[in-house]
Structure 1
Amino acid sequence: MAGEFIQITAEAGETFRAYKSVPRSGDGPAVIVLPEIFGINQHIRDVADFYAEEGYVALAPDVFWRVEKDVELGYSDAERDKALELLGRFDTDQGVRDILATVAAARALPEVTGPDGHKAVGVVGFCLGGRLAYLTAARGDVDAAVGYYGGGIDKLLDEASNLGCPLTLHFGADDRISQPEVIDKIRQAFAGRRDVEVFVYPGAGHAFNRPGHSYNKSAAMMAHSRTISVFRKAMGPHYDLSALWDKHCEYEFGTRNVDDTMSTMVAEPYVNHIPTMTGGYGYKDLHRFYLNHFVHGNPADTKLVPISRTVGADRVVDEMLFCFTHDREIDWLLPGVPPTGKYVEIPLIAIINFRGDKLYNEHIYWDQASVLVQTGLLKPDGLPVAGVETARKLVDPSLPSNTLMARWSQSGKEGGDH
């Protein structure tokens, strides 16, 4: 995604800039991206582009324009000192009014859409922006609000009763600004509000969503999924992720067309088959992998048997049986192993993450020990592993449990239960 700067008209007719990024579809609900104290720098523009990739018209306004226009700071000590100096001169109340002007400007954009003809606008903010997102939701008309590690919200809870939309707040458990007692105070203020959620991420500090020394990938990924869930529910857009995943699998295993398979994915996707670490990171490597080692390399009788499927706001979790005859070398599953002619059935889990209506990544899990047992490459004697029994028990839970536990026979004897 590549955005542009546009001008927003403030309440008295002055103008200030905002970075705008539009989704591939050309329209969608709007998300106002409220920056940290460092202005609309590259990181915030990247965040706006990220939300555009998710299907939103993203607008990142210059909240410091009344103090100093066009602020774009990095994270050196000198730039941090400059940012804190700007924050000291920042008028929060006026800043919220400027954000509400940005909300109004978003609703006037022809690209902005929403459910039932309503031009939907949400806000998401980081650090200073997290506090401003909360205040914008309390003082204005927005459809949803999300704040990341917003400092000082605990001192503004007298406005909590004015909140008229869903609110989600993300904090790091090790945040030096919003410590546990602060987060508890915020939770208590919203007790009983089912549309307000407060999440705390273990091991994450302040600014855990910003790439750099404070970045915590697991916290950032989980927080983003929860944020997308809030926005999807309140504003859309709604994608049929199940159908999109089915189409991807059809291209992989049905028509076996690599270019069609890649067309269902984002510009730079990745796939990781966890047990064998096969797949690809980025379009070039993944296309090479699909073309030479996967799509055309699966056995002719390959079959996927669905067991269960869970569909979330931005991902699908598929539980299935993967069945095949090992009639050729299967690079991604049994790399370097000549065909054994053995028939194999294994339980397999696929976790598929989407950005908007395109697949972003796949994490695929299976029990490699079961594959090795079924192909005769691993003798199960004396090892806690099983062959096709793992697949059969998945389908028929009444089959015996605990067959690998030598002590199971003893615990059922008289006096063996505790």
Structure 2
Amino acid sequence: MADIDALAGYDRFKFTHDGRTREVFRKGSGPAVIIMHEIPGLHPQVVDYADRVAAAGMSVYLPSLFGAPGRKVTIPYALGEMFMNICIRREFHVWAGQGSSPIVDWLRALARKAHAECGGPGVGALGMCFTGGFALAMMTEPAVVAPVLSQPSLPLGKKGKASIDSSPAEIACAKRRFEDEDLSLLGLRFKGDDFVPDERFAFLKETFGDRFEDITLAAEDGAPGTGRPPHSVLTIHLRNSGPTKDAEARTVSFFRERLGLA
């Protein structure tokens, strides 16, 4: 069941693009940051992170892409969403060679809307886990100027280790924009996380060079929680102090810098 209190302080609206409608939750004021939740859905710890971004002077937009908004994380809930819902939906591409997911086009349209509503130099975009690479693919939308990939887990499988779920054209666009507009990309993960192999971050570093800021945390830095080794940098395995809290602070400062607040 959904936890109504988790999103009680948020306005909600339906956003439709290209015939697809989803619910979006919004809070705060200032330039916009779109936060895309991890599996199994828009759970309370994702909302907690969004609360802190909003408190730092930004408008957060939380699209509900799958799962029940506000529902707490359990292993059965996560497995059910992964294998009975997400992997069979045509909106999501999970394997190597498929490029970005079709849902990214809807997210780009949401970024345009958020920028029009909130102003500023552009929009921040943060993806987590299953949605991690979406923030990079969104760079073909000119409004997106601050992409953050937290534990980007796609594509799945051995063939996709040294890649990210973005098409060659999307990667080329991001690379060009990073140079032309003096932008950059932030990536976070735990060392030893099988869902975010070393090869993936090596690929990002090779592709984007110094424009890619790599924040790789030691496994022992993560808080105990669902899964071993730790996976969810900004939510489930976030500690109240130490390297994970520093990593969270860096994402907030990154958004503030790129969105003209620093």
Distance 2:233 2:255 in 1: 21
Aligned to 1:219: 243
Q: Which amino acid aligns with 2:258?
A: A
- Which segments of structure 1 move beyond 4 Å, counting only runs of 4 or more? 70-73
Match of 1:50 among 49, 52, 65: 52
Q: Does 1:190 align with 2:208?
A: yes
The higher relative CO (CA closer than 8 Å, separation ≥ 6) is in 2
Distance 1:208 1:167 in 2: 16
Structure 1 residue 72 displacement after superposition? 4.8
> Which structure is higher in strand share?
1
Aligned to 1:162: 173
Aligned length: 218
Aligned to 1:140: 141
Structure 1 residue 104 displacement after superposition? 1.8
Match of 2:215 among 199, 205, 209: 199
Provide Cα deviations, 1:329-372, integer angstroms capped at 9, x if missing partner. Answer: xxxxxxxxxxxxxxxxxxxxxxxxxxxxxxxxxxxxxxxxxxxx
Aligned to 1:103: 111
Distance 1:45 1:229 in 2: 18
2:113 counterpart SS class? helix
Distance 2:165 2:40 in 1: 23
Q: Which amino acid aligns with 1:76?
A: T
Match of 1:10 among 11, 17, 24: 17
Match of 2:235 among 201, 210, 219: 210
Q: Which amino acid aligns with 1:175?
A: D
> Which structure is higher in helix share?
2
Within 5 A, what are the aligned runs for 1:232-251? 232-238=256-262
Distance 1:182 1:166 in 2: 17
CA contact (8 A) 2:151 2:196 kept: yes
| Structure 1: runs of 5+ lacking an equivalent | 239-418
Aligned to 1:74: 72
CA contact (8 A) 2:129 2:151 kept: yes
Aligned to 1:171: 189
Within 5 A, what are the aligned runs for 1:339-350? none
| Structure 2: runs of 5+ lacking an equivalent | 1-7, 93-100, 156-162, 178-182, 223-229
Structure 1 residue 3 displacement after superposition? 1.4
CA contact (8 A) 2:133 2:164 kept: no
Provide Cα deviations, 1:198-257, integer angstroms capped at 9, x if missing partner. Answer: 22111243113223xx3344232121222123212211223xxxxxxxxxxxxxxxxxxx
Q: Percent identity?
A: 21
Distance 1:83 1:40 in 2: 12
1:31 counterpart SS class? strand
Aligned to 2:119: 113
Quick one: structure 1 residues 6 and 161, their matched pair in 2 at CA, closer, same or farther if it must change by over 3 Å? same
CA contact (8 A) 2:125 2:147 kept: yes
Quick one: structure 1 residues 228 and 208, their matched pair in 2 at CA, closer, same or farther if it must change by over 3 Å? closer
Q: Which amino acid aligns with 1:83?
A: E
TM score, norm. by length of structure 1: 0.48
Higher Rg of the two aligned structures: 1
